[in-house]
Amino acid sequence: MISTLTDPSADIREEIAQRSGTGELTNKIWFHKTAAAVIDADRCIRCGACIAACPSQSLTGAEDGLPTLVKMCTGCSRCWDFCPLAGMRTERLWKLAEGDAFELDGIGPVSAVYSARSLDRPAGAQDGGIVTTMLERLLADGAIDGVLVTRRRGSFESEPYVARSPEELRESAGSIYDQSLPLTLVDPSILGTGGKIAVVGTPCQINGLHALREYGVTHRDNAAANVTLTIALFCTRSFDGRKLASMLLDRGVPLARVGTVAVQDAALQCLAGDGEALFEAPVKEFRDAALRGCDECADFTGRLADISVGSLGTAEGFTTVVVRTEAGADAWSRVTGAVEASEDCDLDAVRDLERRSRRGAARKLNREFDPDSPLWISYAEHLLSYSDTDRAPSTPPGFRSHHYTVSC
Ligand SMILES: Cc1cc2nc3c(=O)[nH]c(=O)nc-3n(C[C@H](O)[C@H](O)[C@H](O)COP(=O)(O)OP(=O)(O)OC[C@H]3O[C@@H](n4cnc5c(N)ncnc54)[C@H](O)[C@@H]3O)c2cc1C
Ligand code: SF4
Ligand code: SF4
């Protein structure tokens, strides 16, 4: 079946397999195929799951901010299997995790919902500063050793970072509309093993982390097993920070003064550090800077997290907090006395956006959206679904998998 379609990832290995008659080699999924189907098809959402999943640590983020091969690829398929835009059927992952309670039309497990703001709100916090305050408390109590966060690098770009003190946490407060392969840091040499790490991330990052915990490598230390708490940020889309900055610059926004970028009520706003409004325009005008892969994402709230947070459903300056699990309830219990909280939250608005986000994703996915289908999707299935679409696999540039050409 696959041979009737053009496969832009076909390379020297396929040629060797064909000439030698060892056809089984074509069933291996090398990084070259993940690159063709996702990264160079402009579908990558920069979660970094592929990099964390690679057992030979052969991948890293390149200058263009995208996963790239820097060592020999063994064709083990794991970059493919853990990629939510490729081999991982995320809706199946949810169903396996949630069991009998799973409802596709819901927002996942909910044990309590609050509207809250910190009494000592960190400068730069996006909404109520709840994420930073909660994590500060957990660090102070010794309940965690560190937190994988994403912090600003310049006004619009970001970098993943492991904060190990309250000061470092405060410096990383606020939302950054950029994805910088944060799961790359889920590595034993960075997170260590046997510790207690919290992770803050967008839903796709939390889904990838969940998969790494459930199906992580067994023959070497799995740093994902250290993660004892996950906090998901509600998310409808993220951007390529560099492209967003460039589009704002074209509109005369003084980038150096931008402290906060927020997407609220379908508007993109830039505020200075002192809160002065610098710019506001409909967010749809910035579609060209958005990550195209986000169109295919059906998870607004991060249903596999221990706690999910966002601005939707609550008053300005507050954070909506959805507590889902026992670990989440324990984390929330530690903010007593440090926050002002009520149960006055519009969870229906959150449910409604989750449903709309799911419907939108189902339209953009070229495969069937089906929580009862197998967790893993093969490259051949992908090629059948995506060939001849505007998201079809595309030949990767030489540098993306240079090592194939020189080493294979
Ligand atoms: C890309 C993106 C899109 C979002 N879209 C929505 C939306 O559509 N609707 C909605 O209600 N809420 C959305 N949010 C969530 C919202 O902006 C706030 O992050 C949330 O309400 C928590 O606010 P806070 O003041 O409690 O958190 P803070 O105390 O300000 O802490 C925020 C934490 O998030 C981490 N963080 C920031 N950016 C990223 C990132 N890109 N990846 C991983 N971690 C990050 C920071 O390191 C920090 O630890 C989005 C957030 C992001 C990053
Ligand atoms: S979407 Fe995530 S897992 Fe897939 S290629 Fe991009 S960074 Fe890797
Ligand atoms: S919309 Fe989905 S894929 Fe895009 S950054 Fe948010 S959680 Fe990730």
The protein residue with its alpha carbon nearest to ligand 1, atom 48, reads 173
The C-alpha angle 288, 294, 295, rounded to 5 degrees, equals 80
Tell me the CATH number at 283.
Answer: 3.10.450
Residues 103 and 129 in one domain: yes
Residues 285 and 301 in one domain: no
Closest ligand by atom to 47 CA: 2
| pLDDT tens digit sequence for 43-76 | 999 999 999 999 989 999 988 899 999 988 888 9
Structural domain boundaries, residue 246: 239-290
What is the rounded CA–CA span in Å between residue 69 and residue 400? 6
Residues 142 and 255 in one domain: no
Q: Structure pTM? A: 0.94
Indicate the residue type of 110: V
Gap from CA of 91 to ligand 1 centroid (Å): 23
CA 178 to ligand 1: nearest atom: 41
Gap from CA of 176 to ligand 3 centroid (Å): 12
What is the rounded CA–CA span in Å between residue 90 and residue 208? 9
Residues 164 and 226 in one domain: yes
Residues 80 and 138 in one domain: no
Residues 177 and 133 in one domain: yes
Residues 173 and 195 in one domain: yes
Tell whether 320 is covered by a domain. Answer: yes
Residues 209 and 187 in one domain: yes
Gap from CA of 18 to ligand 2 centroid (Å): 29
The protein residue with its alpha carbon nearest to ligand 3, atom 8, reads 204
Tell whether 367 is covered by a domain. Answer: no
Q: What percent of the chain has pLDDT over 90?
A: 75
Residues 84 and 191 in one domain: no
Provide the number of structural domains found in the chain.
3
Tell whether 369 is covered by a domain. Answer: no
Residues 153 and 256 in one domain: no
CA 83 to ligand 2: nearest atom: 3
What is the rounded CA–CA span in Å between residue 10 and residue 7? 6
Instruction: Name the residue with higher pLDDT: 117 or 271.
Output: 117
Candidate from 126, 177, 345 with most ligand 1 atoms within 8 A of CB, to mutate: 126
Residues 333 and 220 in one domain: yes
Q: Which two tokens stand for residue 337?
A: 């006395």
Instruction: Name the residue with higher pLDDT: 264 or 152.
Output: 152
For residue 377, how far is the Cα from the chain centroid?
Answer: 19
Tell whether 171 is covered by a domain. Answer: yes
DSSP E strand stretches across 62-118: 67-69, 112-118
Q: What pLDDT was estimated at residue 5?
A: 63
The protein residue with its alpha carbon nearest to ligand 3, atom 1, reads 237
| pLDDT tens digit sequence for 23-41 | 655 567 889 999 999 999 9
What is the rounded CA–CA span in Å between residue 212 and residue 208? 6
Partnered with residue 280 across adjacent β-strands are 269
Using alpha carbons, select from 287, 407, 303 the residue that is nearest to residue 355. Answer: 303
